[in-house]
């Protein structure tokens, strides 16, 4: 090989390496740009527009593309990308910390009660829910997407004067529109939060002589074209939480995680997330097919400050895309 040929080959190799570094740096920059937009909305306390609300639900998992982008920046010797990647990783680590208050009440215990919330996906997981209730024996159960057949099945299984959960309130409906609250404690009717289509019943439970407000949460999901509806219905749940300082349990499928500003507004009213109180602040509840390896926690049991939580457990329900959440609570006398 003569000198000219060798120089030509070396120039081609250098050009190839430059192209490779350029492609790698551009790919890293694209990933960091997307994550930075999502992180910026989280830092700015806003949910933004599609696709930001959808990506915010999986904020902790954005560590993966950020780490890949940082590795590419290092391989391509892109110094700006290295600094950028480290800054984004630091921001994600900061906001992955659980949100909300966790102070424990100090009053005398009034009652211990186990609460379950479950989305049975158009009623398909009704049989699995019945088995879970029989096994776990909760005192109050919030059931979303409980259509007509599901509602009748729950009444047959737990209703009646001798049933385990003889008291109930419901918004009857087809497919995802129906929702039910079952209770061991007597219930008094109360206006539930009005949703666009999916039912969100409410009631007041008599827990050993102490009134406790109950409200099922099931706002519209933040799918493209419905983000404004989702934000508005979470706002209505926030207004419910802020309307009274009485003992309250607000539970269900919120279609929102702690990384959504609209959900944090609810926590800012003073309600506590029961799973966080019990030490499981980011255990995924959806989608059940990949949880707990991959997913997000959008099913919650929120409680007023006069409740403490001892334990939280997530249960798989056959034929549902959600895992049920069970939280053991203690209601305490205030002051």
pLDDT tens sequence for the chain (335 residues)? 566 555 555 555 565 566 767 898 999 999 999 999 999 999 999 999 999 999 999 999 999 999 999 999 999 999 999 999 999 999 999 999 999 878 888 889 999 999 999 999 999 999 999 999 999 999 999 999 999 999 999 999 999 889 999 999 999 999 999 999 999 999 999 999 999 989 999 999 999 999 999 999 999 999 999 999 999 999 999 999 999 999 999 999 999 999 999 999 999 999 999 999 999 999 999 999 999 999 999 999 999 999 999 999 999 999 999 999 999 999 999 86
Q: For the chain, what is the domain count?
A: 2
103: in domain? no
CATH number, position 205? 3.60.10.10
Task: Give the range of the structural domain holding residue 71, as residue numbers without chain letter.
Answer: 3-96
102: in domain? no
CB atoms within 10 A of CB 197: 12
Domain boundary among 52, 69, 96: 96
Domain match, 200 and 114 both: yes
Domain boundary among 38, 62, 96: 96
Domain match, 165 and 200 both: yes
9: in domain? yes
- Rounded to the nearest 10°, the torsion over CA 223, 145, 255, 245 is 140
Q: Angle at Cα 334 formed by Cα 133 and Cα 111, nearest 5°?
A: 30
- Between CA 12 and CA 17 the distance in angstroms is 9
Helices 79-96 & 3-43, crossing angle to 10 degrees?
30
- Between CA 27 and CA 257 the distance in angstroms is 29
Domain match, 242 and 139 both: yes
104: in domain? no
Domain match, 77 and 124 both: no
Domain match, 71 and 201 both: no
114: in domain? yes
Helices (H), the chain: 3-43, 52-56, 63-75, 79-96, 126-136, 148-158, 227-242, 261-267, 274-277
């Amino acid at each position: 090989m003569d000198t000219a040929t060798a120089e030509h080959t070396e120039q081609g190799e250098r050009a190839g390496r430059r192209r490779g570094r350029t492609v790698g740096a551009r790919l890293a920059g694209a990933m960091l740009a997307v994550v930075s937009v999502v992180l910026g909305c989280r830092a700015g306390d806003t949910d933004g527009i599609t696709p930001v609300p959808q990506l915010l639900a999986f904020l902790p998992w954005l560590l993966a593309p950020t780490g890949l982008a940082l590795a590419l920046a290092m391989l391509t010797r892109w110094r700006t990308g290295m600094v950028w990647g480290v800054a984004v990783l630091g921001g994600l680590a900061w906001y992955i910390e659980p949100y909300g208050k966790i102070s424990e009440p100090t009053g005398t215990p009034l009652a211990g009660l186990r609460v379950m919330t479950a989305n049975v996906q158009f009623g398909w997981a009704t049989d699995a829910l019945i088995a879970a209730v029989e096994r776990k024996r909760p005192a109050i159960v919030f059931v979303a997407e409980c259509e007509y057949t599901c509602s009748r099945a729950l009444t047959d299984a737990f209703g009646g004067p001798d049933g385990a959960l003889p008291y109930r309130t419901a918004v009857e409906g087809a497919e995802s529109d129906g929702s039910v609250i079952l209770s061991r404690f007597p219930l008094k009717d109360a206006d539930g939060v009005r949703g666009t289509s999916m039912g969100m019943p409410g009631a007041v439970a008599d827990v050993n002589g102490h009134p406790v407000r109950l409200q099922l949460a099931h706002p519209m999901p933040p799918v493209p074209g419905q983000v404004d509806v989702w934000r508005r219905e979470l706002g209505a749940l926030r207004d419910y939480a802020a309307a009274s300082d009485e003992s309250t349990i607000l539970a269900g499928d919120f279609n929102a995680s702690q990384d959504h500003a609209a959900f944090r507004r609810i926590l800012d009213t003073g309600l506590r997330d029961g799973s966080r109180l019990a030490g499981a602040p980011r255990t995924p509840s959806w989608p059940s097919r990949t949880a707990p390896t991959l997913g997000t926690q959008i099913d919650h049991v929120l409680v007023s400050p006069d409740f403490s939580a001892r334990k939280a457990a997530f249960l798989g329900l056959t034929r549902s895309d959600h895992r049920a959440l069970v939280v053991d609570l203690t209601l305490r006398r205030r002051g």
